[in-house]
């Protein structure tokens, strides 16, 4: 178990070396229309949705190590298909595999960490260890974004080649994990009753709603950020530099988020957990509102703050939820939580895709009302969560 704890941050590091993260929309646009590029993300989200609960059940029943090996191998297969693909069908199949790979890891990685700590009698360190692994992952994301953007300027397929190499290292680490001890002997009926009880727990209900919104509003700039940057740069005649600028923006936003994570614990202790989480969601909604207000070059700088809410929320949400769950439903619950976020985002993104041009790049004149609708929805839902946080005993 000590080996698991030591290897876990490095697994998150190589798992997060996604070199195409800052250029994927631009890559798809070179082969497909803007509407098809948006729909590919819907395909990815729906595929993840379909695999979420089965993968969580697989993790709880078959084990964390096997599930993480399956996750990394499937992710690697998806990246290889993205390298050789050229049509919507090719890319759609790759995104189905990508969604499956992400679903297999969802909740299982965090469960492996918690159960490894628990076996060593160190479960109270879960928040600190989650933050440490989170930093490893975001440093990797930052480096991958900057390097990937530079690679894409020379050849837009190179970021995918680099990602495939990183996935190979992650797969080796997944094989080196030891299966932690967790209770798998409970009858299916008992597991279902425990899961149903967790879905009625007021604290878990509030955190579930918050997590769904954090996922949705955290991914709006991820999907629409690249065309937004291109449209903003077009006003200065620098649209050709979009991959490099997008990679640089992602690098800065990740590093700022890592820096904030160093003071995240003091912030949580000073503000309290509910206020810290509401601050994180409020920042996401405010960013979406800013993107809907103007496409000036100066707004690009606001994207530097996109990942700060993650450093103020994700490790603390995981640490708060873990002790409230039993071993037999831990990964299944996290899968259901992730599924709910993907359902909401996939539905809203599908509507956005119908408003996108079918045979051209996505202009700001079309992007602006989409972002404005998201911003209005976010403000209303944030007020609802703020009003119920005390009753939920977060």
Is the pLDDT at 75 greater than 80? The verdict is yes
Q: What is the sign, positive or negative, of the torsion defined by CA atoms of 298, 304, 305, 307?
A: positive
Round to whole Å and give the CA distance between 207 and 201.
Answer: 10
Residue 352, CA atoms < 13 Å, CB-side half-sphere: 26
| pLDDT score recorded for residue 185 | 46
| pLDDT score recorded for residue 153 | 79
Is the pLDDT at 187 greater than 50? The verdict is no
Q: Which two tokens stand for residue 333?
A: 């619950």
Round to whole Å and give the CA distance between 58 and 50.
Answer: 13
Residue showing tokens 């997060």 = 16
Round to whole Å and give the CA distance between 373 and 294.
Answer: 14
| pLDDT score recorded for residue 254 | 80
- Which residue would you say has higher pLDDT here, 317 or 25? 317
For the segment 278-304, the average pLDDT, to the nearest whole number, is 88
Which 3-state string (H, E, C) describes 301-362? Answer: HHHHHCCHHHHCCHHHHHHHHHHHCCHHHHHHHHHHHHHHHHHHHHHHHHHHHHCCCCCCCC
Which CATH number fits the domain 2-178+191-388, given the four candidates 3.40.50.720, 1.20.1250.20, 3.40.50.620, 3.40.50.1820?
Answer: 1.20.1250.20
Average pLDDT, the chain: 83
Terminal Cα distance for the chain, rounded: 30
| Confidence tier at 357 by pLDDT (50, 70, 90) | low
* pTM listed for this prediction: 0.67
Residue showing tokens 């614990």 = 265
Q: Give tens-digit pLDDT for 40-64.
A: 877 887 787 788 777 777 787 788 8
Percent helix, strand and coil across the chain, each to the nearest 5: 80, 0, 20
| pLDDT score recorded for residue 229 | 81
How far is CA 239 from each of CA 62, 231, 290, 306, rounded to the nearest angstrom? 49, 7, 21, 22
CB atoms within 10 A of CB 6: 10
Is the pLDDT at 77 greater than 70? The verdict is yes
Is the pLDDT at 385 greater than 90? The verdict is yes
For the ranges 89-98, 162-171, 239-248, 261-270, the lowest mean pLDDT is seen at 239-248
Contact 1, 64 (CB under 8 A): no
Within 85-200, where are the H helices?
88-105, 108-119, 126-154, 158-176, 188-198
Round to whole Å and give the CA distance between 66 and 388.
Answer: 39
Give the residue extent of every domain in the chain: 2-178+191-388
Buried b / exposed e along 335-366 (16+ C-beta atoms within 10 A):
bbbbbbbbbbbbebbeebbeebeeeebbbbeb
- Angle (deg, nearest 10), helices 273-293 and 264-271: 110
| pLDDT score recorded for residue 31 | 80
| pLDDT score recorded for residue 355 | 63
Radius of gyration of the chain (CA): 20
Residue 27, CA atoms < 13 Å, CB-side half-sphere: 29
């Amino acid at each position: 178990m000590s080996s698991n704890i030591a290897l876990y941050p490095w697994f998150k590091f190589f798992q997060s070396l996604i070199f195409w993260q800052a250029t994927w929309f631009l890559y798809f646009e070179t082969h497909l229309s803007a509407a098809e590029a948006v729909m590919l993300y819907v395909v990815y989200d729906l595929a993840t949705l379909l695999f979420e609960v089965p993968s969580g059940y697989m993790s709880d029943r078959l084990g964390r190590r096997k599930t993480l090996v399956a996750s990394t191998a499937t992710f690697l297969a998806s990246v290889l298909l993205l390298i050789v693909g050229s049509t919507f069908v090719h890319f759609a199949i790759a995104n189905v595999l990508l969604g499956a790979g992400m679903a297999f890891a969802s909740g299982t990685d965090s469960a492996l960490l918690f159960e490894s700590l628990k076996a060593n009698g160190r479960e109270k360190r879960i928040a600190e260890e989650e933050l440490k692994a989170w930093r490893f992952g975001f440093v990797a994301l930052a480096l991958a974004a900057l390097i990937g953007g530079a690679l894409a300027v020379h050849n837009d397929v190179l970021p995918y080649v680099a990602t495939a190499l990183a996935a190979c290292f992650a797969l080796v680490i997944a094989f080196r994990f030891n299966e932690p001890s967790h209770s798998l002997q409970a009858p299916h009926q008992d597991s279902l009753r425990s899961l149903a009880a967790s879905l009625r727990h007021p604290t878990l209900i509030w955190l579930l709603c918050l997590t769904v919104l954090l996922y949705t509003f955290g991914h709006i700039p991820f999907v629409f950020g690249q065309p937004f940057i291109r449209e903003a740069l077009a006003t200065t005649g620098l649209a050709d530099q979009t991959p490099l600028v997008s990679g640089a923006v992602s690098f800065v936003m990740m590093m700022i988020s890592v820096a904030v994570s160093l003071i995240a614990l003091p912030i949580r202790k000073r503000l309290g957990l509910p206020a810290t989480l509401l601050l994180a969601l409020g920042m996401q909604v405010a960013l979406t509102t800013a993107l809907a207000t103007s496409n000036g070059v100066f707004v690009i700088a606001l994207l530097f703050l996109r990942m700060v809410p993650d450093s103020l929320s994700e490790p603390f949400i995981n640490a708060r939820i873990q002790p409230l769950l039993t071993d037999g439903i831990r990964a299944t619950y996290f899968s259901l939580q992730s599924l709910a976020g993907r359902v909401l985002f996939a539905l809203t993104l599908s509507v956005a895709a119908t408003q996108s041009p079918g045979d051209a790049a996505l202009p700001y004149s079309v992007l602006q009302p989409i972002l404005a609708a998201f911003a209005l929805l976010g403000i209303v839902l944030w007020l609802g969560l703020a009003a119920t946080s005390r009753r939920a005993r977060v």
